Amino acid sequence: MPWLGKVRGLLEAYLGGQALGGAIADLLFGDVNPSGKLAETFPERLSDNPSYLYFPGDGDRVEYREGIYVGYRYYDTKKVKPLFPFGFGLSYTTFDYQNLTVSQKKISDTDSVICTVQVKNTGSVAGKEVVQLYVKDVASRISRPEKELKGFVKVDLQPGEEKTVEFTLNKRSFAYYDTELADWHVESGDFTILIGKNSNDIVLTETITVESTKEKPFNVHRNTIVGDLLDNPKVAPLAKQLLAEAQRDSPFASAAAEEEGDMLK
């Protein structure tokens, strides 16, 4: 949009039907305060799109190789700045977010956690705000997006009015689909709860710990490396013991020790 800097505002109306003209007039003249949020990401350039290399494909075949990295999941994870982020929208008023609280700081994946945040209309006209909650797996062992939207609430506020918005998170809020288990699975560890006005404007965060009640089998195969063994808390002690024994019994162990001693002389 090379002309974007030449206009004072941009209204995305999509396909609103026969009454669209009247609705746009109400918004432009201030009879109604806009409160919609983008359900997609607008890239700065076409080449920023995750499907750029694969579309329109070859012949009559198109491969969707983005997997789970579509929309904001791709742009956030790749650290690509969009023109307009997911969840973005303008208003004739302003909103302030305060006091993110969680009912529990440590839960199992069979529990639920309640998150609350206070939202205040700090402007001079009534308006509606869409409060968005994202979840980030702090140290996932698998490939996951930077963060994922897990809930949103639209709240209607008069000037100066303040309300408390509540979200309930459960197992699916922290889980990913495991193809080996053919089920949703939660990795034990820390998760960050992020409250934002859009996917790029995160204003409040809180971290909780989630413990998985279902242990995922650890399969050792020909592609398993030593680092995988040492990263598994149950396998690591045995792996360390076997490595120590292998090093001690190695025919090169005495030669290595002598060489090390010579270097220290």
pLDDT value at residue 229: 82
Alpha helix (H) residue ranges in the chain: 20-28, 72-78, 171-174, 226-231, 236-249, 253-264
| Bridge pairing between strands 201-211 and 106-108 | parallel
CA pair distance 36, 123, nearest whole angstrom: 17
pLDDT value at residue 204: 97
- Report whether 113 contacts 104 (CB < 8 A): yes
**Per-residue pLDDT at 167 exceeds 90:** yes
Summarize pLDDT for 190-228 with one digit per residue, the tens: 999 999 999 999 999 999 999 998 877 777 888 888 887
Domain ranges in the chain are 93-234
* Token pair of 183 as six digits: 């089920």
Summarize pLDDT for 42-66 with one digit per residue, the tens: 999 999 999 988 888 888 898 888 9
Q: At a CB cut-off of 8 Å and minimum separation 6, what does 62 contact? A: 54, 55, 56
Q: Which of 181, 177, 211, 216 is nearest to 109 (CA)?
A: 211
> Which residue did the predictor score with more confidence, 255 or 88?
88
pLDDT value at residue 58: 86
Residue 154, φ and ψ in degrees, nearest 5: -95, 125
Q: Once rounded to an integer, what is the mean pLDDT over residues 141-151?
A: 94
pLDDT value at residue 240: 86
- Report whether 174 contacts 71 (CB < 8 A): no
| Bridge pairing between strands 95-102 and 113-121 | antiparallel
**Per-residue pLDDT at 258 exceeds 70:** no
Pick one of 3.10.129.10, 2.60.40.10, 3.40.50.300, 1.10.287.950 as the CATH number of 93-234. Answer: 2.60.40.10
Report DSSP state, residue 94: -
Asked if omega into 43 is within 30° of 0 (cis), the reply is no
**Per-residue pLDDT at 92 exceeds 90:** yes
Lowest model confidence (mean pLDDT) among 40-44, 172-176, 234-238? 234-238
- Report whether 49 contacts 64 (CB < 8 A): no
- Report whether 194 contacts 204 (CB < 8 A): yes
* Token pair of 13 as six digits: 């109306």
Summarize pLDDT for 2-29 with one digit per residue, the tens: 898 898 888 898 888 899 999 999 999 9
